[in-house]
A and B are shown apart, each in its own frame.
Chain A
Amino acid sequence: MTAPAPDTLASTAAPGRRGAPAAPRRRRPGAARWLVLLAFGVFFLLPLFAMLEFSTRQAGGRSFAAWRAIVQDPDLVSAITISLELAALTVVGMLLLVVPVATWVHLRLPHLRRPIEFICLLPLTIPAIVLVVGIAPIYAWVTYLLGDSPLTLAFVYVILVLPYAYRAIDNGLGAIDLRTLAEAARSLGAAWPTVLARVVVPNIRGALVSASFLSVALVLGEFTLASLLNFNNLQVTINLLGKRDAPVSVAVSLAALLLAFVLLLMLSYVGRRRGSSGVTEEG
């Protein structure tokens, strides 16, 4: 007897707030807002612009020599390569470590959720500068066993990305109906590794991408542990370069910042597309 239910009203506000009616947006004082944005824009863009200016100075004009030197300086190139390799290793390590644990906590070990969340948040409470003091003896062992390649930093980098990675993957698992999917797969005869690989992973792709991007950004920007454990990654090399050849170090700093910006911008598009979409009832 009742009229058909209206379509699920699209929430114009932040995701996650289902059920809020769509109110036509009110016109707020636009002038004040744009003034604020402009002021902050200038404040934040000024140093970036200054970096561009600084790195292109030359007697009597502008030159991109410092920028070209980025790919010509062997130390810098090797540091960039090492940082990229470290980023890849860290992402792999993070995925191998976090995905199974997060999945099991959701499926079978809900009582371990609190302790594991606490552990994953610990790296935020233990500053890197303190961690490095305690980890130095451990790394003495690591380099003894595996040689002194900077790639061994990946071990501790996985720990550093743990808070962000666990939260992203945990949220991703929470957004899908994991229990139902796993039970469906099991009832069709899948063994647990298959469930993980074929059912869980494809459905949390967005969260995995998110965790990976954040890890890459963190690794590329890491300085404390690398420098105090005497490894030469990107940031350490930039720092050393600063004393030797300022324009090049400023150029590569700006390049690194821009690269990280593009990375995170791409992340914001991936994240939205695969965001949690509830099932809407029709009719």
Chain B
Amino acid sequence: MTAPQPATTAAPGPASSGTGRRRSGRIVPYLAVTPFLLYVTVFLLYPTLIVVAGAFTDDANRPTVTTLRVLTDGVYLRAFARSIELSAVTAAVGAVLGALLAWAVSSGPPDGPLRRGVMAAAGVLAQFGGVTLAFAFIATIGLSGFATVFLRDHLGIDLFTGGVWLFDLPGLMLVYTYFQIPLMVLVFLPALDGLRPQWREAVESLGGSGWEYWRYVAGPVLLPAFLGAALLLFANAFSAYATAAALVSQGSPIVPLKIRGFLTSEVILGQQNLGKALGFGMVVVVAVVMALYALLQRRAARWLR
């Protein structure tokens, strides 16, 4: 007459010998994440907060929007305009030329030495550049650079008849393009890889030409990825500092250099938080661009899976 034993089913996951272990099993993962969160808070979130808060504070530490309003003043507005111009132009040029180079690389074997070499070089130039790139260009088209001398001595062309433009916006545009193109290759090549050979063959079997393939299939499919990559290039140029700092020692035509001014020279009374306001402005611009980029990426991923 024994009572029937209740059926027991083993609980999934690591065996727990009671509520004590189970509860600690739930806390432990969170504990492991806490150091990470603390670290990130101290070294990333808090500094960001300082910048954002500072943008909305005046000299007496009272909340205000006047600091921000100064940004619409001529000098700073022009700096933003030039930053945006620099970023837009180099993003457009970099996107088109980079896409072309990416196409040339993608048509080859995926594991071949050419592709590996180009990808490694692109990685270096896109992310490592900065000061070293500035010097590379000074060595090429600086006042005593190789190309300058060569053109002057052999072809009678003086690069700098209109003034030394290397150390001003036009020079920045050229040097920025030098790292924008590789970045485009890095970001856009996976999209090109996502083009399936069957699409081209299907177009051909239906009677279409290569041009029609690009016009009706490959072009539209690649467009979100292309635009997204161009946005990334924009954000990259907008945020860049090192190259400009190395090339431009006098004056601050673009926003990052203006911020440099606030950090290195004496702070003029009444404008302590202006640097933070400029920083906040930069963050807003980059955040908007990155948000658009994320949206386009999602669309691109859907078609190029």
Q: Which residues of A contact B (CB under 8 A)?
A: 12-14, 20, 23, 26, 28, 33, 36-37, 40, 44, 46-51, 53-55, 97-98, 100-101, 104-105, 107-109, 112, 116, 119, 122-138, 155-156, 158-159, 162, 183, 186-187, 192, 217-218, 220-224, 227-228, 235, 238-239, 242, 246, 249-250, 253-254, 256-257, 260-261, 264-265, 267-269, 272
Contact = CB atoms under 8 A, between A and B. Distances in A.
Interface residues of B, number: 91
Interface string B87-131: 000000000010011011101101100101101110111011111
Given A97-B35, A138-B47, A221 B129 contact: yes
18 contacts: A47-B139, A50-B145, A109-B30, A116-B36, A125-B235, A125-B290, A133-B275, A138-B47, A159-B44, A162-B40, A192-B28, A217-B123, A217-B124, A235-B130, A238-B131, A238-B135, A239-B131, A242-B138
Nearest to A24: B197
B136 A51 contact: yes
Interface stretch (B74-82, B163-171, B216-224, B259-267): B259-267
B104 A268 contact: no
Contact of A223 (B49, B130, B239): B130
Interface of B: 13-14, 28-30, 32-33, 35-36, 39-40, 42-51, 54, 97, 100-101, 103-105, 107-108, 110-111, 114, 116-117, 119-121, 123-125, 127-133, 135-140, 144-147, 178, 181-182, 190, 193-194, 196-198, 200-201, 235, 238-239, 241-242, 245-246, 256, 259-260, 262-264, 275-276, 279-280, 282-283, 286-287, 290
Nearest to A156: B43
A235 B132 contact: yes
A135 B132 contact: no
Contacts of B241: 127-129, 223-224
Given A104-B29, A265-B117, A268-B120, A260 B128 contact: yes
Contacts of B279: 129-130, 133-134
B146 A223 contact: no
Q: Which 6 A-B pairs have the closest CB atoms?
A: A134-B47, A127-B239, A221-B128, A50-B146, A14-B193, A54-B139
